[in-house]
Amino acid sequence: MEIVLRYRGRDVTEADAAFIRELVESHPGQSRRGLSKLLCEAWGWVQANGAPRDMVCRGLMLELERAGQLTLPPQRWRPPNPLARRVRPAAVEIDQSPLRGSLRELGEIELRQVRRSADEPLFNALLEAHHYLGYVQPVGEHLKFLFLAGERPVGCFAWSSAPRHLAPRDRYIGWSAQARRQNIGLVAYNTRFLIPPWVQVPHLASHLLGRMVRALPAQWERLYGHPVCFAETFVDADRFQGTCYRAANWRYLGLTTGRGKNDQTHRANRSLKHVLGLPLTRDWRERLTRSP
């Protein structure tokens, strides 16, 4: 069967393209959004949590249109791009009096997943005000966590989908290109970790990291319908040594190239980052390297 194009690891055949053409032609009143949902239903194309992959279907139909394989109905509505017009998180008033002492003196520490909750603005504001990279709205699968001692936040963790290509990680895992495409969703990327500057408790960082990664697979599965079995992060080599990660048993995997994912010059244009990783399950390598 002739392959028309390859989209997100899927070979799209002439028969597939003909099926989509017929779908479009037999529903002349449908919008592009409606057509993508019909295609998801016809193909059983769903995410791990059961939600239709209509954005992926829409992208496939656009690629087929660009390839001259079909003609989509005119676009009815162009949604605003939140990444093009980013609104910075609003400041939140919070007790910034020094919090010192030992871990024991800090008392019980609660871990709270705050995405889509009343605590999310507090999380966003803390990162914006006190993390050196500020706050950036994640895309794709992502989770946000607050650690609280009483009602006072003592730690913030942001997690998102992992980069598709990362040479030190890929060498360490030892997966094939096919296995990486299939299993990249089992890797979680720690994009932000913050302990507010007024919290000065020895060993708190490694303690929170340990608790965080133990809770992460179940929390991810609760929202997205699948667990994660490997965690990774970048540490700016010009600023930090990643001591708390190493104390929490994270492994040094190598250095980034300093070129970024959209590199066009093949020259370093940003600081190098230490790539650190941590297996989250005993069978992590088997699960990550598995392919059909």
| DSSP label at residue 189 | E
User: Could you tell me if 131 and 173 lie in one domain?
Assistant: yes
DSSP bridge partners of 46: 52
Token look-up 């913050």 returns 194
Residue 181's identity, in one-letter code, is R
CATH number at residue 115: 3.40.630.30
Chain Cα centroid distance, residue 125: 20
Report yes or no on whether pTM surpasses 0.75: no
pLDDT along the chain (292 residues), means of 10: 76 88 89 89 80 84 88 76 67 93 94 95 96 90 96 96 94 95 95 97 95 96 93 92 92 82 52 93 96 78
Structure tokens at 143: 């989770």
What is the Cα–Cα distance from 228 to 290, expressed in whole angstroms? 14
For residues 46 and 118, state if they share a domain: no
For residue 270, the model assigns a pLDDT of: 65
Residues 147 and 221 in one domain: yes
Pairing mode, strands 273-279 and 230-236: antiparallel
Within 13 Å, how many C-alpha atoms sit on residue 96's CB side?
8
Query: What pLDDT does 263 receive?
Result: 47
Residue 63 identity: E
Angle at 187 between CA 186 and CA 189, to 5 degrees: 145
Residues 209 and 123 in one domain: yes
How far is it, in rounded angstroms, from Cα 167 to Cα 42? 37
Token pair 């791009």 in the structure block, residue? 81
Bridge partners for 231 per DSSP: 188, 278
On whether both 31 and 164 belong to a single domain, the answer is no
- Domain tally for the chain? 2
Residue 99: strand, helix, or coil: strand
Does residue 88 form part of some domain? no
Query: In sequence order, what are the residues at sequence separation of 6 or more whose Cβ sits closer than 8 angstroms to the Cβ of residue 195?
Result: 154, 155, 204, 205, 208
